[in-house]
Amino acid sequence: MTAAPLRTLICEDEPLARESLVELVQGDARLELAGTAASGNETLAQIDLLQPTLVLLDIQMPGMSGIEALSLARHLPAVVFTTADPTHAAQAFDLGAFDYLLKPFGQARFAAAIERVVARMGPVTAPAPLKRLFVRHRDDIVPVRIAEVSRFEAQDDYVLVHAPGGPYWCSTPLSALEAKLDGERFVRVSRSHIVNLDRIERLFAHDARRLAIVMADGVEIIASRESSQRLRAAIT
């Protein structure tokens, strides 16, 4: 049986370095890109939100350092540091880092680090569905209970989280959120919407192949044809 790829979070504030890491991750069949973070605060939030198997972690980032973010996170992933700073290697390995990559590094050095991670990792089990989400609200990052979320709505590069006191902004892609949600409660009904089935007020036919969904807050969403078929199949 082929091992599942390691869900990998890239934490890097420099755009070019982040883009390079994305290319390295996407070019390695052993890895699956779970998301990216561009600051220490976002790193902390994304580690606990996405619960990645592996984090590629820079040290010097805005807000707080990568080491500080790692020490505050509740989720404990495997970590490979990717940094231009050689002075924190001992501290990194004390924190359980699998490797310490000094920039600039190439594909061969990166592949060797991933080989070290794969060799040391045991079987990877799927994490439990999210119970809370850390989101942006004004200048803060605040927790929102997933059960209280009515729907998730993609807006350009962000996701609007519709919940009491919101909406809130989230930088995690809608597809990444979908993978972490309880599929018995949350359903992707269109390219831009995931809805909480418990917050649906009613359904009606929009046209011959699509359903309209009226949420408890009165918002109307047109489901895709495929999603409409699944919803109809669930109606008893």
Pick the CATH number of 136-234 from 3.30.300.30, 3.30.420.40, 2.40.50.1020, 3.90.1150.10: 2.40.50.1020
Q: How far apart are CA 9 and CA 6, in angstroms?
A: 10
ω into 173 cis (within 30 of 0):
no
pLDDT at 198: 93
**% of residues, the chain, pLDDT over 70:** 95
What average pLDDT does the chain have? 87
Rounded CA separation 53/79 (Å): 9
pLDDT tens profile 41-65:
999 999 989 899 999 999 999 999 9
Same fold, 6-120 and 136-234: no
Exposure of 177 by Cβ count < 10 A (0-12 exposed, 13-18 middle, 19+ buried)? buried
Identify the residue with better confidence: 95 or 7: 7
pLDDT of residue 123: 54
Rg over alpha carbons for the chain, rounded to the nearest Å, is: 20
Amino acid (one-letter) located at 34: A
pLDDT at 232: 86
Confidence of residue 231 (pLDDT cuts 50, 70, 90): confident
Considering all CA atoms of the chain, what is the largest pairwise distance in Å, rounded to the nearest integer?
64
Task: Delimit the domains of the chain by residue range.
Answer: 6-120, 136-234
Candidates 1.10.10.10, 3.40.50.1110, 3.90.550.10, 3.40.50.2300; CATH matching 6-120: 3.40.50.2300
In this predicted structure, the answer to whether residue 169 has a pLDDT above a threshold of 70 is yes
* pTM, to two decimals: 0.54
When pLDDT is averaged across residues 7-13 and rounded to a whole number, the result is 94
**Residue written as token pair 């044809």:** 225
**Is pLDDT at 97 greater than 80 in this prediction?**
yes
Compute the distance between CA of residue 42 and CA of residue 48 in angstroms, rounded to an integer: 10
Structure tokens at 161: 């989280």
pLDDT digits over 71-83, tens only? 888 898 999 999 8
pLDDT tens string 180-230: 888 889 999 999 999 999 999 999 999 989 999 999 999 999 999 989 988
The predicted pLDDT at position 1 comes to: 41
Task: Report the pLDDT value the prediction gives residue 12, as an integer from 0 to 100.
Answer: 95
- Cα–Cα distances (Å) from 135 to 18, 33, 45, 103, in that order, read 22, 20, 8, 31
Beta carbons of 69 and 21 less than 8 angstroms apart = no
pLDDT at 31 exceeding the cut of 80: yes
